[in-house]
Amino acid sequence: MASQRSNLNNITGARVLRAQATHAEVVLGEAFRGRKLSGIKFRRQQPIGPFVADFCCTERRPIVEFDGEIHASQLDRDTERSILPQRAGYALLRFSNEEVLQDLAAVLPTIENTARQKLVRAPGYVARREGW
């Protein structure tokens, strides 16, 4: 999830990130637009708790993240960004920009299969706010 943090549940940060989409985000966004992927609705740059997910389906709970160059320098932060959503019942999928741009046909079934799984929150999980 993007490293931008802001108040108001990251809405401001999400807006900034939407305006700065990478080419891979645009390509995957087009594949998701209009529920093209098996009728699943994905939101782009969706605030999830303290983070902003590149793509998220709040109904089925998969999160799709792009691991660009910045992620090589923030491995500890990425670990935290993986654990919190998983405890909240989200499935986190990470792809490189190159994977999406070079082999979208392989990426989409992985996302679709994950979205079809029934996900649940970890026992005893307490949300920071309802819906997260």
Query: What pLDDT, in 10s, does the model give residues 18-36?
Result: 566 788 899 999 999 999 9
Is the residue at 81 inside a domain?
yes
Query: How many CB atoms are closer than 10 A to CB 109?
Result: 11
With a pLDDT cut of 90, the percent of the chain lying above it is 37
pLDDT band at 38 (very low <50, low <70, confident <90, very high): very high
Mean pLDDT of the chain: 78
| Strand, coil or helix: 2 | strand
pLDDT band at 126 (very low <50, low <70, confident <90, very high): low
Between these two residues, 31 and 16, which has the higher pLDDT value?
31
d(CA 91, CA 105): 20
Q: Is residue 122 part of a domain?
A: no
Three-class DSSP labels, 30-92: HHHHHHCCCCCCCEEEEEECCEEEEEECCCCCEEEEECCHHHHHCHHHHHHHHHHHHHCCCEE
The reported pLDDT for the residue numbered 8 is 46
What is the count of structural domains for the chain? 1
Indicate if the pLDDT at residue 100 is higher than 50: yes
Mean pLDDT for 10-25 is: 70
Full domain range(s) for residue 20: 8-116
Confidence grade of residue 121 (pLDDT, cut at 50, 70, 90): low
132 inside domain: no
User: Three-state DSSP class for 17?
Assistant: helix
CATH number at residue 109: 3.40.960.10
User: Between the CA of residue 29 and those of 24, 46, 80, 101, 116, what are the distances in Å?
Assistant: 8, 13, 25, 12, 19
Structural domain contains residue 3? no
pTM across the whole model = 0.73
pLDDT at 2 > cutoff 70: no
Taking only the tens place, the pLDDT of each residue in 56-84 is: 998 888 999 987 665 555 556 667 777 87
